[in-house]
Amino acid sequence: MRLLMVAPPGAGKGTQAVRLASYYTIAHLSSGDLFRKEVAAGSEVGRRAAEFLARGDLVPDGLVLQVLAPHVLDAAAHGGYVLDGYPRTLAQAEEAHEVAGRISGVELQAVVHLEVGRDELLRRLLARAAQDGRADDQESVIHHRLDVYDRETAPMLGFYASRGLVVDVDGEGAVDEVFEAIVGAVDALRAGLA
């Protein structure tokens, strides 16, 4: 199974991706987690990406592909993946689609779009900020990340919708309810395509 999560910051991409990876026995690939690991390790890529993460801006495409490509190819060869945070722009989606067209067994099979209102997104991210908060969980940066999603990421949904891959799922319920809804929608889509 090869899935992509598309949703704004705080919608539950990571929370649900961990569960989906376990349920379908596939790898969970979080672009944000991979970048935070590089930053923490002080690698060359991490040093170049750090300022973008801190501001809530997107890391330049060249760096993104450099970090993600080996993980995606490896996971594709071992049962599949749930991509959490990549592709994140129309340009990244088009590039990934183009690469997938040249290699068999890596193209996406479903795109999970979690729908959560801005008030709830803010509430969740501010709650996380008050606990173990990430470096980018500061109110001004959170607002910026949400704006970047609306401007750069949301337009990508049309690309996948035109290919019949998008399932829209209400992400405002409890974690278990949202999970059940995702699995139901993905399995229904796959059954329809089979």
Q: How far is the CB of 22 from ligand AP5 (least distance, A)?
A: 15
Q: What residues pair up with 81 in beta bridges, in sequence order?
A: 2, 27
Q: Is 35 in the site for ligand AP5 (CB under 6 A)?
A: yes
DSSP-based three-state secondary structure for 81 = strand
Subset of 135-194 contacting ligand AP5 (CB under 6 A): 145, 174-175, 178
- CA dist., res. 151 & res. 24, Å (int): 32
Among positions 6, 64, 96, 181, the unique one binding ligand AP5 when judged by CB under 6 A: 64
Q: Which is nearer to Mg ion, 13 or 88 (CB)?
A: 13
- Torsion region of 79: left, alpha or beta (phi above 0 gives left; psi -120 to 50 gives alpha): left
Residue 128 touching ligand AP5 (CB under 6 A): yes
Options 3, 6, 27, 59; binder of ligand AP5; rule CB under 6 A: 59
Contact flags string 76-105 toward ligand AP5, x per CB under 6 A? ---------xx-x---x-------------
* Chosen residue from 2, 3, 12, 110 binding ligand AP5 by CB under 6 A: 12
Q: Which is nearer to ligand AP5, 174 or 191 (CB)?
A: 174
What is the CB neighbour count within 10 angstroms for residue 28?
20
* Residue in this structure with the two tokens 């395509």, named with its chain if needed: 193
Measured from the CB atom, the residue of 175 and 193 that comes closer to ligand AP5 is 175
Instruction: Enter the tokens of residue 128.
Output: 């996380």
H/E stretch holding 49: helix 44-55
User: Angle 13-24/175-193 helices, nearest 10 degrees?
Assistant: 60
Phi and psi at residue 172, to the nearest 5°: -90, -15
- Return residues touching ligand AP5 (CB under 6 A): 7, 9-15, 31-32, 35, 52-53, 56-59, 64, 85-86, 88, 92, 124, 128, 145, 174-175, 178
